[in-house]
Amino acid sequence: LGGSISRALAQMSNATVIDEKVLNDCLNEISRALLQADVQFKMVRDMQANIKRIVNLEALAAGTNKRRIMQQAVFTELCNMLDPGKPSFTPKKGKPSVVMFVGLQGSGKTTTCSKYAYYHQKKGFKPALVCADTFRAGAFDQLKQNATKAKIPFYGSYMESDPVKIAVEGVERFKKENCDLIIVDTSGRHKQEAALFEEMRQVSEATKPDLVIFVMDSSIGQAAFDQAQAFKQSVSVGAVIITKMDGHAKGGGALSAVAATKSPVIFIGTGEHIDDFEVFDVKPFVSRLLGMGDWSGFMDKIHEVIPTDQQPDLLQKLSEGSFSLRLMYEQFQNLLKMGPIGQAKIKRYMTMMDSMTDAELDSTNPKLMTESRIIRIARGSGRPVRDVMDMLEEYKRLAKIWGKMKGLKLQKKGDMSAL
Ligand code: GDP
Ligand code: MG
């Protein structure tokens, strides 16, 4: 996905004349990529129209970095689409709140309920879990197991078949016990069916939740919009959680869920463990959707600065994951060709690195840089110790980026467009 978007952008920045046709070609390419990431067809079309409206063709033609301008426009547009314009209800400590979870069976509700409870427990809340899934055998056991592990009080029954009755009993009991975050897990059934939505409506009416969270599996693809809308029509969904973001799905369905429920995404699930839970942050999510990661700016520089014939060599080192200070030195040499920005800093770094030994330059172990070595390098280069530390920090930062790129497991070595 990121590959085709960067290819589209690269093609455009290579074009000497930017006219309507070049822009359209580029937008079509980006649209194709977004569709592959499960963004709904209609939303892709809207985005395309919006971009055409906001991107000024003349500025684009004159702009030195057309790719940047377009990338920024697509990025901003997708961020806007993920922002419903109003925040969701957030529970307050010491004040009893009821939060009801809805979603299809297998979407990750029970797992996510536990994660949500655990997350708030760590923040000082007194959460409790109520199992109102009487449809699936084993549902109560699953919730009980999660709750016990996390030392969170729970309520449910093996005998009772009325989900509304259990939900009400559970909520009442935990209100009496002064729990301030009462979480109601519900059934999902196998598909979207009238009985399920009627059940959700009844549980919601009986427990009067302060917030209904719609849980959606990130891998459901183009079905996301209809599914989210179906739940929104029976209960007043106020927030969305996207699960299984640790898998292959890029999560384009999140845009659909936000549009269909007019509610924000608040968390994402990133694994089966109770800790695999992250506060949703729009920008990194969109970066992932576009396949550009935090390091997109850095990659752009590599594309622009490093001569094409040297790229395979760099990629080889990249895929081996050995990012030494020497490699950073070589990259800085390349970056110097870029113009005045940051040149002074890089020159300063390189002066200091000139005072380093071969062993120091080739090591990838930051622990090697002991205090005495740092002092020696500072003296040797005539720079303050602070500057050497600063340079080493920069190295650590870049090495981390490198680690991320290594994690991408380049499918075809030597193919930069895979990034
Ligand atoms: P429910 O039917 O909606 O209650 O879904 P469950 O909570 O039982 O989850 C269904 C399956 O998805 C279980 O095997 C979970 O371990 C798994 N699951 C839930 N959330 C995640 C996630 O964020 N990542 C991964 N990899 N698996 C998840
Ligand atoms: Mg469940």
Q: Which of ligand 1's atoms lies nearest the C-alpha of 268? A: 23
- Could you tell me the residue ranges of all domains in the chain? 2-81, 97-282, 296-418
CA dist 2 to 29, 157, 310, 413, 418, Å?
11, 48, 22, 16, 8
CB 211 within 8 A of CB 120: no
pLDDT tens per residue, range 148-173: 999 999 999 999 999 999 999 999 99
Q: Which of ligand 1's atoms lies nearest the C-alpha of 103? A: 3
Q: Is the CB of 110 under 6 A from ligand 1?
A: yes
Mean pLDDT of 74-84: 88
In angstroms, rounded to a whole number, what is the distance separating the alpha carbons of residues 199 and 186?
9
- What is the distance in A from the centroid of ligand 1 to the CA of 72? 34
CB 84 within 8 A of CB 262: yes
173: tokens are: 């009991």
Mean pLDDT across the chain: 83
CA dist 314 to 5, 52, 101, 328, Å?
22, 36, 48, 11
Q: Is the CB of 105 under 6 A from ligand 1?
A: yes
Least confident of 40-44, 137-141, 272-276, 312-316: 312-316
Q: Is the CB of 272 under 6 A from ligand 1?
A: yes
Residue nearest to atom 13 of ligand 1 (CA): 108
Look-up of token digits 């307050």: 92
Counting ligands in written order, the one closest to the CA of 139 is 2
CA dist 64 to 60, 290, 389, 415, Å?
8, 22, 35, 25
296-418 CATH fold: 434 Repressor (Amino-terminal Domain) (1.10.260)
261 against 73, higher pLDDT: 261
Confidence (pLDDT) at 127: 98
Q: Which of ligand 1's atoms lies nearest the C-alpha of 115? A: 20
Q: Is the CB of 111 under 6 A from ligand 1?
A: yes
Is the pLDDT confidence value at 142 over 60?
yes
Please give the ipTM for the structure prediction. 0.99
97-282 CATH fold: Rossmann fold (3.40.50)
Confidence (pLDDT) at 295: 38
Q: Is the CB of 246 under 6 A from ligand 1?
A: yes
Confidence (pLDDT) at 29: 80
Is the pLDDT confidence value at 358 over 50?
yes
Q: Is the CB of 252 under 6 A from ligand 1?
A: no
- What is the distance in A from the centroid of ligand 1 to the CA of 111? 6
- What is the distance in A from the centroid of ligand 2 to the CA of 193? 17
Mean pLDDT of 9-30: 75
Counting ligands in written order, the one closest to the CA of 112 is 1
Q: Is the CB of 244 under 6 A from ligand 1?
A: yes
CB 30 within 8 A of CB 5: yes
Is the CATH number of domain 2-81 1.20.120.140?
Answer: yes
Pocket test for ligand 1, best of 134, 268, 272 (most atoms within 8 A of CB): 272
Residue nearest to atom 19 of ligand 1 (CA): 108
**pLDDT band at 65; cut points 50, 70, 90:** low
Counting ligands in written order, the one closest to the CA of 267 is 1
SS3 58: helix
- What is the distance in A from the centroid of ligand 1 to the CA of 113? 10
Confidence (pLDDT) at 334: 63
Mean pLDDT of 222-249: 93
Residue nearest to atom 6 of ligand 1 (CA): 108
Is the pLDDT confidence value at 418 over 70?
no
How many beta carbons lie within 10 A of that of residue 182, not counting itself?
30
pTM of the model: 0.71
- What is the distance in A from the centroid of ligand 1 to the CA of 139? 12
Neighbours of ion ligand 2 (CB under 5 A): 109-110
228 against 75, higher pLDDT: 228
- Kindly give, in sequence order, each residue whose CB lies less than 8 Å from that of residue 154, ignoring residues fewer than 6 positions away: 128, 129, 130, 131, 143, 144, 147, 148
9 against 213, higher pLDDT: 213
Instruction: For the chain, give the percent of residues with pLDDT over 90.
Output: 45
Mean pLDDT of 84-97: 94
Residue nearest to atom 27 of ligand 1 (CA): 272
Is the pLDDT confidence value at 417 over 70?
no
- What is the distance in A from the centroid of ligand 1 to the CA of 271? 8
39 against 10, higher pLDDT: 39
Is the pLDDT confidence value at 86 over 80?
yes
Mean pLDDT of 80-107: 94
Is the pLDDT confidence value at 320 over 70?
no
Q: Is the CB of 198 under 6 A from ligand 1?
A: no
Counting ligands in written order, the one closest to the CA of 105 is 1
- What is the distance in A from the centroid of ligand 2 to the CA of 186? 7
pLDDT tens per residue, range 254-302: 999 999 999 999 999 999 999 999 999 888 888 777 765 433 444 444 4
To the nearest 10°, report the CA torsion of 81, 86, 92, 95: -130
Mean pLDDT of 384-413: 70
Counting ligands in written order, the one closest to the CA of 113 is 1
Confidence (pLDDT) at 35: 85
Confidence (pLDDT) at 107: 95
